[in-house]
Amino acid sequence: MGEDRIQRVSLRARVMDADRAAALIAPAATVAMSGFTGAGHPKAVPQALARRIEASHAAGTPFKINLFTGASTAPELDGALAHADGIALRLPFQSDPEARRRINAGQMEYLDMHLSHLPQEVWFGFHNAIDVAVVEVAAIFEDGSLLPTTSVGNNKTWLDLGQRIILEVNAWQPLELQGLHDIYYGTALPPQRQPIPLIHGDDRIGQPTLRCDPERIAAIVLTDAPDRSNRFDPIDDDCRRIAGHLIEFLRHEVARGRLPATLLPIQSGVGNIPNAVLAGLAQAGFHDLGAFTEVIQDGMLDLLEAGVLRYASATGFNFSPQAEARFRDRLGSLRNRIVLRSLGISNHPELIRRLGCICMNGMLEADIYGNVNSTHVMGSSIMNGIGGSGDFARNGFLSIFMSRSTARGGSISTLVPMVSHVDHCEHDVAVLVTEQGLADLRGLSPKQRARQIIARCAHPDYRDALRDYFDRACRDSRGKHTPHLLREALSWHQRWLETGTMRTP
């Protein structure tokens, strides 16, 4: 099964089953695996490793590994190893429910990182050396180069630095992916760095394959298994309202001459609200757009097929089952308009700043001064992680954060006096949007920002309470620049923990 995809015939002798390959991973090893939002992750070796770890627990000789990836992966990887209690340290991102439970229970260490930081920090030697790299590919060519699959993520770094390499050659991944990727090998360590020669979002500055030292390939596992598709909920009225506010704002920016009619390259987080915004761009008549982003999801595929997007550059896909089928059917015609790059390029601050990306990301909560919490529920429980939102928000032309104004059936206000955790400080947030409205925070002082956010974004059930807090803070706080009542600033979160609602009695 799939051995014909190993064109370098001498490597066929290293083909083995997943259990034998997993046995090459030593206890306490630092293992770097491919994968980004359920695309391009190894399908067989992680599950074999999980079985081995479960057996070690039963035998009274338990062990764990340190797990590095590109971002979140899938149940076959994160889920299997978390259920086996096999992860000592996880970074840089996760979204698996069992992994999240163990992290918040204090049973697994987790380092939440800006995604663009990890590959360079591993290269700098700031983290553990990579003992084993486990990377999915679609083919091994005669010259030893590798055809990447549906995500690139940190695979270049893992293959460059992994002391031993295990490849999964997945026959499910279409060979027609060849030509889709652009792998740049021109980076260097400081002080030898040079400017990255990417001027337009669809420039190709590298090569279509990954390099790999054949001498370090310890095992090859043949698979034929699909990526993990995402299932998005139907777009509801709140999502449409958020999209409507944002589209109106972008039209206004074009009319004022602050954006071209074709906008600037867009970056979008994953989920129903971003998909609604992308759909709104087409309905509003925008055209000839570009996307320089982290993940290509359903809404961007729709825009590519409709001709609204000229190109989309990212590091991986995150499709629903329906969109994935459409992508595979149209791969031939889309291949020249999609570029998958290494994460260190797709999320590189130099490029985001140069291109002037319009950055649209979700949030859990924001406070009245525009600080944003993307990661922590009630201050101490991790949800997923910061992902690439910080890479884009701090460096983009416009940093936009979006959310519904309430959560948990209205018991939580997503606009609060003070966020319980800060991922994006007020200096990195230009626009906040909820279904209630949009607050343009550019050029405003802290108190001016607070008045805009409360008036335009807060839910009516909480607006008066926020205004009351702000008015009393302006009167009674020691400093008047960013007024706060420190005894009350996090009382909304404490009230929810104690009573199940942020509403005052």
- Residues marked as catalytic: 294
Is-contact 284 262, C-beta < 8 A? no
Instruction: Please give the Cα distance from 454 to 437 (Å, whole number).
Output: 10
Write phi, then psi, for 268 (nearest 5 degrees).
Answer: -140, 135
Is-contact 147 141, C-beta < 8 A? yes
Three state DSSP letters for 351-406: HHHHHCCEEEEECCEEECCCCEECCEECCCEECCCCCCHHHHHCCCCEEEEECCCE
Buried b / exposed e over 396-414, threshold 16 CB at 10 Å, is bbbbbbbbbbbeeeeebbb
Q: Which residues are registered as beta bridge partners of 67?
A: 31, 90
Instruction: Please give the Cα distance from 262 to 200 (Å, whole number).
Output: 14
- Radius of gyration of the chain measured on its C-alpha atoms: 23
Is-contact 279 299, C-beta < 8 A? yes
Q: Measured over all CA atoms, what is the biggest interatomic distance in the chain, rounded to whole angstroms? A: 77
Residue showing tokens 């595929």? 301
Cβ neighbours of residue 84 closer than 8 Å, sequence gap 6 or more: 50, 51, 53, 54, 57
Is-contact 435 404, C-beta < 8 A? yes
Based on DSSP, count helices (H) and strands (E) in the chain, helices before strands: 17, 27
Instruction: Please give the Cα distance from 112 to 102 (Å, whole number).
Output: 15
Identify the CA nearest to 352 among candidates 398, 321, 414.
Answer: 398
Can you spell out the DSSP letters for 74-99?
A: -IIIIIHHHHTT-EEEEES----HHH
With vertex at residue 131, the alpha carbon angle to CA 125 and CA 136, rounded to the nearest 5 degrees, is: 105
Residue showing tokens 């602050």? 258
